[in-house]
């Protein structure tokens, strides 16, 4: 075999190996995300006030799920837009849920001063790990997910959401 053919064969072998690794990684990540989604829908979370937040209740309708914390400035900045969104889309069958990656005392204090119209569950810092399993690769907050009817994950967004992004998501999901 000539040097050119060996180089080509080696390059082709590397390309095949890289493709296989990429496919394997994608399948593993999809399987992991599916397991995390199942875990989410089977979860219930303590709330700052009242009964636990049972996630299975929200699976039938479109759902905006926002991971946030009181100590996260972008989370705090986006909350008024998310609250307006929650009130605007509720008549169309949408639900909005906030999951606070925080402790109960700061969340209670925060919501006493800045109440929202949507339910809030408490995940503690384990919420960061749950958000990572759901596709939040960096583990940063805020992290928002959009689920369609039946609990199908449609969108992920890391970082602060804009009102325009929320409107685009609302228009994407037929209710």
What tens digit of pLDDT does each residue of 70-87 get? Answer: 999 999 999 999 999 999
Q: With cut-offs at 50, 70 and 90, classify the pLDDT of residue 175.
A: low
> Two tokens at 149?
């009817």
Please, which pLDDT band fits residue 91 given cuts at 50, 70 and 90?
very high
Each residue's pLDDT tens digit, 145-166: 999 999 999 999 999 999 999 9
Residue with tokens 């800045």: 114
35 belongs to a structural domain: no
**Residue 173: what pLDDT?**
74
Q: How many structural domains are present in the chain? A: 1
Reported as a pLDDT band with limits 50, 70 and 90, residue 13 is low
User: Would 4 be classed as within a structural domain?
Assistant: no
The torsion angles phi and psi of 34, rounded to 5 degrees, stand at: -60, -40
Instruction: Indicate which CATH number applies to the domain containing 97.
Output: 3.40.30.10
Domain residues for 146? 43-172
Which two structure tokens, joined as six digits, stand for 148? 């369609």
Residue 153 resides in a domain: yes
Question: Sign of torsion, CA 149 124 156 171?
Answer: positive
* Domain assignment present for 3: no
What is the mean pLDDT of the segment spanning 114-135?
96
């Amino acid at each position: 075999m000539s040097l050119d053919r060996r180089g080509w064969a080696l390059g082709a072998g590397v390309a095949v190996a890289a493709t296989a690794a990429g496919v394997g990684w994608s399948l593993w990540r999809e399987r992991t995300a599916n397991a995390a989604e199942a875990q989410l829908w089977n979860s219930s979370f303590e709330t700052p006030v009242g009964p636990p937040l049972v996630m299975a209740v929200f699976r039938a309708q479109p759902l905006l799920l926002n991971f946030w914390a009181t100590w996260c400035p972008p989370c705090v900045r986006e909350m008024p837009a998310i609250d307006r969104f929650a009130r605007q889309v509720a008549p169309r069958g949408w639900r909005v849920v906030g999951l606070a990656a925080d402790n109960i005392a700061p969340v209670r204090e925060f919501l006493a001063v800045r109440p929202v119209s949507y339910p809030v569950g408490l995940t503690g810092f384990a919420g960061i790990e749950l958000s990572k399993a759901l596709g939040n690769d960096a583990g940063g907050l805020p992290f928002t997910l959009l689920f369609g009817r039946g609990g199908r994950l449609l969108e992920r967004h890391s970082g602060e959401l804009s009102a325009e992004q929320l409107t685009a998501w609302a228009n994407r999901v037929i209710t």
